[in-house]
Amino acid sequence: MTASAAIDGARGQHWVAHLARHAHARPEVTALRCGEVSHTWRQLADRVLRISRGLARLGIGAGDRVAFVMGNGAEYVESLLAVSAAGAIGVPVNPRLATAEVAFILGDCGASLVLTDAAFHRLAADAAEDDGIRVVDVSAQVGRPYADLLDGPAIGSPVDGLAAITVDESAPALIMYTSGTTGRPKGAVLTHRNLLAQSQTNLVAFRFEMYDEVYLCASPIFHIGAIGGLAPALLVGARVVVMPTGAFDAGEHLDTMAEHRVTSTFLVPTQWQALVAEQRRRPRDLSRLRVAAWGAAPATDTLLREMGEVFGDADLLALFGQTEMSPVTCVLEGKDARRKLGSVGRPAAGVWARVVDTEMNDVPAGGIGEIVYRGPGLTPGYWNLPEATAEAFAGGWFHSGDLVRVDDEGFVYVVDRLKDMIISGGENVYCAEVENVLAAHPDIAEVAVVGRPHLKWGETPVAVVSPVPGRPTPSIEELRDYARRKLAPYKLPTGVEVVERLPRNASGKVLKFELRDGRTDDRVPG
């Protein structure tokens, strides 16, 4: 590596450069743990460099899309970094989606390669088959393709090799798919600069400590919430402990937090509720936990009080945002959590926010309007969707689709979602997507899907249907069986309510607020 290349590489503000820097400064310090797998910074740098060169041997280069259909593991983190080192674009895909849903994403982004694991190999292979996309399995159980990526010759120092890589920080790093009101997933492009902005936002919110942070990545890595935690962890050189994919086990999580002396983590409220109960049943030493963060659903006053009692040394932190903002837009600190119950906090550092009416006029404090954003974390747009991008950026601000009110102290309260999104157990369920599937049922004349409160999942989708005259009304079991072929399990309705007709306004739009409140007079008895 030439002197000028070394100097240029040290200017990098992307996660490949962060990795090289820590591998240079602290080569033998543990960087990544997942189960029994452990890598130091030097080992991680070496593996990332080898994999990036292996990807190049497969023909993967600048701008190519590499999809991930896999569960959490050390391989997920290292291959994400390797894709960036190769100049390609990572496309994390929810492996809980149905085959047709995954196939749509692969085709829409034009994936050149899919990385998967043993648990999701069949899903990935079936989804990639029609387009002839190559599938590489990271598991030892299925062939050797991933091992072949690692088997390339070692050429010099991995630190020098990574440091010499030039990454255009305005170029896309990731495409994160998120559904919209039409029900078709949209790929939000996130650049390396977006990830840096998110890192800076979370450094302020979490107050990450240089060299002393141990971050537990307990969310699925395909979620933007996990990416939003990994990016700042790599910036400061935190040890990242990844929870493998599997059924949530509160005892296992607490044991991991105690064993690795975790300092910060992010979970959804239902998971924190389970941790509170388990920690009371069998206390662990969690004295190092500084930040207990939650999001994706509101936390109750009871839960916040119990978290304060059980994890008394930790600061409680609520995060709110959306994929297009990389994702955090608002932060609610622990000192305000109970007195501002129901709020998502105030705009995070670096985030510009307004609350506007339909004419883009500012709404006064206490009034209801849509919250719109600007800032360094904002996506440049949706992948191959110029019209959707233009619509989202109308008026020079990004339209979130969230209706909010802001109190006189600047705290934001979400009133409703223009996009009719249901958050069930931390997963986004888009009503239009479910409605499009159910509407094709031969016994249904019209259908609307709304969220109902659920003790465990926060919200759950419920189908409100008007049956075809003279046809039998389908049961919830029949609807779930019908939709299971096209929808992921967490999107399936858990209840069905029957009405003679859906309530609509003068323009024919379904009045979902009436359905959510159960205020329609057309409900069929029984």
Reported as a single tens digit per residue, the pLDDT across 51-66 is 999 999 999 999 999 9
**pLDDT at residue 493 tops 70:** yes
Residue 101 CB contacts under 8 Å (≥ 6 apart), including other chains = 185, 486, 487, 488
Reduced to 3 states (helix: H, G, I; strand: E, B; else coil), residue 260 is: coil
Residue 284 CB contacts under 8 Å (≥ 6 apart), including other chains = 254, 255, 257, 258
Higher per-residue pLDDT: 191 or 414: 191
Distance (Å, rounded) from C-alpha 80 to C-alpha 91? 9
Q: What ranges do the domains of the chain cover?
A: 421-517
Residue 349 CB contacts under 8 Å (≥ 6 apart), including other chains = 200, 201, 204, 205
Whole-model pTM?
0.83
**pLDDT at residue 75 tops 90:** yes
Q: What is the mean pLDDT of residues 470-493?
A: 92
Structure token digits, residue 175: 């495409």
Give the mean pLDDT of the chain.
Answer: 89
Distance (Å, rounded) from C-alpha 436 to C-alpha 432? 6
Whole-number Cα distances in Å, 179 to 258, 271, 328: 37, 25, 18
What's the confidence (pLDDT) of residue 182?
43
Write the burial class of residue 285 (CB in 10 Å: 0-12 exposed, 13-18 middle, 19+ buried).
exposed
Reported as a single tens digit per residue, the pLDDT across 423-455 is 888 887 877 778 878 988 889 888 889 998 888
202 within 8 A of 328, measured Cβ to Cβ: yes
Q: What is the mean pLDDT of residues 394-419?
A: 88
Higher per-residue pLDDT: 181 or 238: 238
Whether the link from the prior residue into 327 is cis, omega within 30° of 0, is yes
Type of residue numbered 168: D
Return the half-sphere exposure (C-beta side, CA atoms, 13 A cut-off) of residue 105.
31
What is the CB neighbour count within 10 angstroms for residue 184?
16
What's the confidence (pLDDT) of residue 502?
85
Reduced to 3 states (helix: H, G, I; strand: E, B; else coil), residue 237 is: coil
Provide the CA 275 distance to its chain's centre, in angstroms: 21
Helical segments of 155-282, H only: 158-163, 192-206, 224-236, 250-259, 269-281
What's the confidence (pLDDT) of residue 520?
43
Provide the CA 508 distance to its chain's centre, in angstroms: 34
Reported as a single tens digit per residue, the pLDDT across 197-221 is 999 999 988 888 888 899 999 999 9
Distance (Å, rounded) from C-alpha 446 to C-alpha 466? 5
DSSP states of 89-116? EEEE--TTS-HHHHHHHHHHHTEEEEEE
Structure token digits, residue 295: 């999001």
Reported as a single tens digit per residue, the pLDDT across 286-315 is 999 999 999 877 777 888 889 999 998 899
In this structure, whether the domain defined by 421-517 belongs to CATH 1.10.340.30 is answered with: no
- Residue 221 phi/psi, 5-degree rounding, is -65, -20
What's the confidence (pLDDT) of residue 526?
30
Residue showing tokens 């509101």: 298
What's the confidence (pLDDT) of residue 160?
84
Distance (Å, rounded) from C-alpha 79 to C-alpha 522? 54
By C-alpha distance, which of 349, 356, 460 is closest to 403?
356
90 within 8 A of 231, measured Cβ to Cβ: no
Reported as a single tens digit per residue, the pLDDT across 247-262 is 899 999 999 999 999 9
Reported as a single tens digit per residue, the pLDDT across 127-172 is 999 889 999 999 865 556 788 888 876 667 888 888 888 899 999 9
Type of residue numbered 504: R
